Amino acid sequence: MSFEGSYLGDAARLRAEARLECKICWWVYDPALGDEVWQVPPGTAFADLPAWWRCPQCDGDPDQFMVLAP
């Protein structure tokens, strides 16, 4: 089952500039900003995040993120 905004865990479907929102806590990953908590540099696409990366606010799995409209 999928939901609106889902990338179905297939990061290859994501644009490099895609912003994604955690469906648990609503934290937004913006590749232009990166992630200071996990020391991910700006310019890192969601698809290029390290395998160990998790939501810095609620520790949610990357599969819990939804694609935001451009």
CA distances from 31 to 2, 8, 49 (A): 24, 19, 10
Q: What is the domain extent for residue 64? A: 1-70
Q: Please state the rounded mean pLDDT for residues 12-32.
A: 94
Q: Please state the rounded mean pLDDT for residues 17-32.
A: 97
Q: Please state the rounded mean pLDDT for residues 29-57.
A: 97
CATH of residue 5's domain is 2.20.28.10
Q: What is the pLDDT of residue 4?
A: 55
| Lowest mean pLDDT, pick from 4-8, 13-17, 47-51 | 4-8
pLDDT at 38 over 70: yes
Each residue of 56-66: pLDDT tens digit?
999 999 999 99
Domain total in the chain: 1
Q: What is the pLDDT of residue 70?
A: 80
Concatenated DSSP letters of 1-65? ---TT--TT-GGGS-TT--EEETTT--EE-TTT-BTTTTBPTT--GGGS-TT---TTT---GGGE
